[in-house]
Amino acid sequence: MKLPSTLNSLEEYFYWDDFPAYPNTIGCRLHFSGQLNTEGVEAAAKAVSQRNPLLGVIAIPNGRKVNWAPSPQEIMPCRMTEEEFHRNIIRKFDLLHEPGSGLHWHADQSFSVISLLTHHAVSDGIGGLQLVFDWMNEYASFFGGKDAARHRRIDVNLLNGRGSYGFFRWKFLKRLHRQLIGVAGIWEFLRNRPSVLKPIPPVPVQQPIPDGYPGILSGVVAEVPQLQGMADAAGVTTNDWVVTAIFSSLAEWRLNNGFGREDDLIRVMVPFNMRQIKDRYLPAANRTSLVSIDRRQSACRDFDALMRSIRFQMDVIQKNDLGYTFLHVLNLNRWMPGGIARLARTDRVAASVLVTNLGEPFKRLRLPRDGVGRIEMANLKLQGFDLIAPLRPNTQVAFAIFRYAGNVMLSMTYDNRVLDEAEAQELFNMTSHQINRPVIK
């Protein structure tokens, strides 16, 4: 990767969409049985940072543009006391003065937790999980030699084209007519006014985050064959089924708590993976887009009708390459007054919730596993992990669904300045119930 390098449009959007009260930080917290080794933690972190160049850069404003440049600081893992670790769930990265990543860990005699955080401008969720993948491989190699783990192949030269999606090339021109559907979708996106889940005054964006922010709830919501069977029986994808279940639970939760009206619009924002075959060796980076799905609260009552409408919409998005539409909009805004920074607005609701489906993140990790599929590395066993999604102004909840050890897991990140613990637990339980609802043929 050649430095300095101008931030691509998506990186720049995430760079500006970052506030003290709403840090644009993503994270993964891994829970191990066994005690982490200090030397192994540090050696693995150093190796991962060397393999992923964007972990070692800072942002340098340059007129209307922002450039990545090498950071004078080295990323060092931070060991925390139990009190410190549970008090500091995430942090805000100041990209002007420090790299946008950090590794924090805590260990006692029998249980360890490690937290890997990155600024969203540095990496998307899939890239962040690739860092975790690499770290586990490196940690295992530290104790078992070169043959203990099979490292993921990385080509750092691919970072030079990380912001290129074929714009103004023949492939782009061939799909240009299909983007007209996306233009109509952008008009709907701008015209519609979605509602916040819990209608209360927003937290001032310059207010620093409190200790223990955000709230996180995680747990098993189904077995993999069970969820796949329900989706197959309904004739939809598992992603369609989960998004439908979340819409349904949101509407039910709002109704039960007396929040909003039946004609309120609920918007689910869904990250869309834009990686292609040639990107399989890409280091941690942003290769994603965003699509939005809007439904009136009253339309979320009939699960089957809602599911059919979501399947139809997702089919239109996929067949017409509408994942590119958001990226086109970002690129066009680079040439307008105010640039991409003007899109990072705090005076409107961009999304009611965020929903991301990350599949089985560690499926290709070639490390030993126990009888139920839990990963083993040296003296450690990965019991489970939580995914921390960034919360934006007026977006109070984010869901991440993924698979591990034969189970479908759900992580729910919530703004605990807005939702109390009981409200969050109720929403999590409702969502789990909706995901497991019986299929009516």
What is the predicted pLDDT for the residue at 191? Answer: 62
User: For residue 189, which amino acid is it?
Assistant: F
Instruction: Answer for the pair 251, 259: CB distance below 8 angstroms, yes or no.
Output: no
Supply the pLDDT for residue 86: 78
Residue 174 CA neighbour count, 13 Å, CB half: 4
d(CA 62, CA 68): 10
Q: Quick one: pLDDT at residue 218?
A: 95
Per-residue pLDDT, 360: 94
pLDDT on residue 174: 56
Confidence at residue 332, expressed as pLDDT on a 0 to 100 scale: 82
Buried b (16+ CB within 10 A) or exposed e, 281-320: ebbbbbbbbbbbbbbebebbeebeebbbbbbebbeebeeb
Q: What's the pLDDT at 319? A: 81
> Of 163, 181, 170, whose CA–CA distance to 321 is shortest?
181
On whether the CB atoms of residues 376 and 420 are closer than 8 A, the answer is no
Report the C-alpha gap between 46 and 51 in whole angstroms.
9
Sheet holding 376-377, edge to edge: 78-79, 101-107, 111-119, 25-33, 380-388, 376-377
- pLDDT of 344 reads 85
The 10s digit of each residue's pLDDT in 353-391 is 999 999 999 998 989 999 999 999 988 999 999 999 999
pLDDT in tens, 285-339: 999 998 889 999 999 989 999 999 999 999 888 887 777 888 888 888 888 888 8
Residues 6+ apart with CB under 8 A from 353: 197, 246, 250, 266, 267, 268, 269, 395, 396, 397, 398, 399
Q: Which CATH number applies to 5-435? A: 3.30.559.30
Domain extents in the chain: 5-435
Phi, psi at 398, each rounded to 5° = -135, 135
For 205, how many CA atoms within 13 A lie in the half-sphere containing its CB?
16
Cβ-contact 182, 320 below 8 angstroms: yes
Give bridge partners of residue 78 from the DSSP assignment: 104
Going through 80-133 in order, the beta strands assigned E by DSSP cover: 101-107, 111-119
Query: Which residue numbers in the chain have pLDDT < 70?
Result: 145-150, 165-191, 439-441
The whole-number pLDDT of residue 286 equals 93
Cβ contacts of 20 within 8 Å, gap of 6 or more: 92, 205, 206, 207, 208, 209
Quick check: pTM over 0.85?
Answer: yes
Name the residue type at position 83: E
Amino acid letter for position 267: R
Q: Is 336 exposed, middle or buried (0-12, 13-18, 19+ CB in 10 A)?
A: exposed
